[in-house]
Amino acid sequence: MAWQKIKAWYAKTPYSLKLALLIALAAKLAVFVLGYASAYNVAFASGASTQPLGLLLSMFDKWDGPHYMHIAQYGYTNQGDAANFIVFLPFYPLLARLITIDFSYVNFSGLIVSNVASVVAVFYLFKLAKLDYSDSVAKKAVLFLCVFPTAYFMSAVYTESLFLALVIASFYYARNARWFLAAFLGFLGSLTKLAGLILLPVLIVEYLHQKNWRIKAVDPRILWLSLTIFGFLIYLGINYQVTGSFFTFMQVESTHWYQTIQPLNGFSTALSWARNAAWPNNLTIGYAEIIFAAFGYAMIGLGYKLKLRPSYQVYMLLTWMLAVSTGFWISVPRYVLTMFPLFLALGLLSTKKSVNIAILAVSCIGLGFFTWLFATGTFAF
């Protein structure tokens, strides 16, 4: 019965959406092939195990990934080094735990969550773009997302693809005035990343825009938007239950992860790494942080010039501000990936074939290079 429903849905799906999903799957396959080949070569050269399943499960389970999977398997704790994992929000590891049968392969569950979520994100990005633009713009937006230089995070044991899926779907349902569903997805977004809190003001902007900035009588459905902060409130409750304080995560962010609200210091630190660090840290913790911060800022300006919806512009601005707000810029390129309206802007900008080729060339080179770094165990955001 389920298979019949899938076949019926596929038969009704427009060709352009099928093509967009095919683009996403092709890009994902390329990332996995490159990642596997990179990890295999390093393992072979060092004499380490080249067992296929082991390489496949580990090549994108790096850096923050194992911390999320530790939470999925054991939950939060206030003991030992794992106490520092309190800074990671619970929805992503919860989903991984729910689909895990054997915890020896919990990272496989993390990969499933991330990769399924990335397809969902592409699906809703296409549908959201189609509310305002042509098939061509929608397909280009999907393509530019899938080949963005840090798009490998949508295939890795990280929260970016889940967060993108929740945020873009929330926007889509808000655009269709389905406020409860938009707010519920925002609730899950704020249970996935702290940046999910941005959705409360952004969805309010979208509501006001739909009302032409005139409110004669408040629609009671708008009250559902308060749901968006409850994911974060649940997270604060977890902090209190585990550590005895609602705000332990802030202390741990500062003392263990060196993250404080000091944007100017973040810039100067990145500049220092760029000038003084050895390769490749001078790039990944230095130049790339500055370049992607500048790129994100430029895309905010482009979005304004192209007259993207106010809610899209506010979302990009607030996401960028969060990305560059810390005293240690270490993941700005990854955070810029979640500024999804920039892909709509690029889709609108690239009206000439030469512009399309240029954007694709730069993106694909960056994606290939950073995927290689990440899969071989070098820090890449």
Convert 347-360 to b/e letters by CB count within 10 Å (16 or more is b): bbbbeeeeebeebe
pLDDT value of residue 9? 67
- The rounded distance, in Å, linking the Cα atoms of 295 and 354 is 20
- Any idea of the CA torsion for 261, 339, 280, 271, to the nearest 10 degrees? -40
pLDDT value of residue 131? 97
Q: Which helix (H) or strand (E) holds 103?
A: none
| Cα–Cα distances in angstroms (integers) from residue 124 to residues 21, 104, 185, 325, 340, in the given order | 10, 33, 13, 29, 11
Which residues in the chain land under pLDDT 70? 1-6, 9-10
- The rounded distance, in Å, linking the Cα atoms of 239 and 247 is 7
Q: Report H helices in the chain.
A: 2-12, 15-46, 52-58, 64-74, 91-98, 106-130, 135-146, 160-175, 179-190, 199-210, 230-243, 248-255, 263-276, 281-282, 288-305, 310-323, 332-337, 341-349, 353-375
Structure tokens given for 347: 């889709």
Burial class of residue 137, CB neighbours in 10 A (0-12, 13-18, 19+): buried
Structure tokens given for 334: 């990854």
Interacting residues of 346 by C-beta distance below 8 A, sequence separation 6+: 140, 141, 144, 299, 359
pLDDT value of residue 5? 66
DSSP string covering 245-293, please?
-TTHHHHHHHHTS---B-HHHHHHHHHHHHHHSPTTHHIIIIIHHHHHH
pLDDT value of residue 2? 64
- The rounded distance, in Å, linking the Cα atoms of 218 and 3 is 43
For residue 86, which of 199, 224, 235, 220 has the smallest C-alpha distance?
Answer: 235
For residue 330, which of 376, 372, 380 has the smallest C-alpha distance?
Answer: 380
Neighbours of 38 (CB within 10 A): 21
- Flag whether the pTM goes above 0.85: yes
Asked if 179 contacts 59 with a C-beta cutoff of 8 angstroms, the reply is: no
